[in-house]
Amino acid sequence: MQLVTASLTDRGGRQRNEDSLGNWSSERLYYCVIADGAGGHGGGDTASRIVVDTVLADLRYLTVAELPPTGERLASALLHANENILEEQVQGSIDVRDMRSTAVLLAIDIECRTAAWAHCGDSRLYCFRDGEICVQTRDHSMVQDMVDAQLLRADEVRHHPRRNLLLSALGSRDGLNIAGRAETFELRDRDAFLMCTDGLWEYVDEDCMRDWLARSATPDAWLDALATQVRATAKANHDNFSALAVWVVDAEDPQATILRLPGQAASPG
The pLDDT-based confidence of 95 (bands split at 50, 70, 90) is confident
Residue 260 domain-assigned? Answer: no
The pLDDT-based confidence of 126 (bands split at 50, 70, 90) is very high
Pick from 93, 9, 105: nearest CA to 56: 105
The reported pLDDT for the residue numbered 46 is: 96
More confident residue, 254 or 182: 182
CB 144 within 8 A of CB 207: no
Residue 153 domain-assigned? Answer: yes
The reported pLDDT for the residue numbered 55 is: 98
Residues 186-225 have pLDDT tens digits of: 999 999 999 999 999 999 999 999 999 999 999 999 999 9
Residue 95 domain-assigned? Answer: yes
Q: What average pLDDT does the segment 81-100 reach?
A: 93
Q: What average pLDDT does the segment 259-269 reach?
A: 37
Residue 165 domain-assigned? Answer: yes
Q: Count the domains in the chain.
A: 1
More confident residue, 128 or 251: 128
The reported pLDDT for the residue numbered 265 is: 40
Name, in order, each residue with C-beta under 8 angstroms of 55's C-beta and a sequence gap of 6 or more. 31, 33, 77, 78, 80, 81, 103, 105
The reported pLDDT for the residue numbered 155 is: 85
The reported pLDDT for the residue numbered 92 is: 83
> How far apart are the C-alpha atoms of 59 and 230, rounded to whole Å?
32
In one-letter notation, the amino acid at residue 180 is: G
Q: What average pLDDT does the segment 160-176 reach?
A: 91
CB 123 within 8 A of CB 103: yes
Residue 267 domain-assigned? Answer: no
Going from the C-alpha of 109 to that of each of 135, 136, 157, 181, the distances in angstroms are 18, 20, 34, 15
The reported pLDDT for the residue numbered 93 is: 85
Pick from 29, 44, 30: nearest CA to 96: 44
Q: In this structure, what CATH number is given to the domain that contains residue 65?
A: 3.60.40.10
Residue 81 domain-assigned? Answer: yes
Residue 261 domain-assigned? Answer: no
The reported pLDDT for the residue numbered 266 is: 39
Which residue segment(s) compose the domain that 121 sits in? 2-249
Asked if the model's pLDDT at residue 144 lies above 90, the reply is yes
> How far apart are the C-alpha atoms of 188 and 172, rounded to whole Å?
37
Asked if the model's pLDDT at residue 263 lies above 70, the reply is no
Asked if the model's pLDDT at residue 41 lies above 80, the reply is no
Residues of the chain with pLDDT > 90, as a percent, come to 83
Residue 262 domain-assigned? Answer: no
Residues 4-29 have pLDDT tens digits of: 999 999 999 999 999 999 999 999 99
pTM for this predicted structure: 0.92
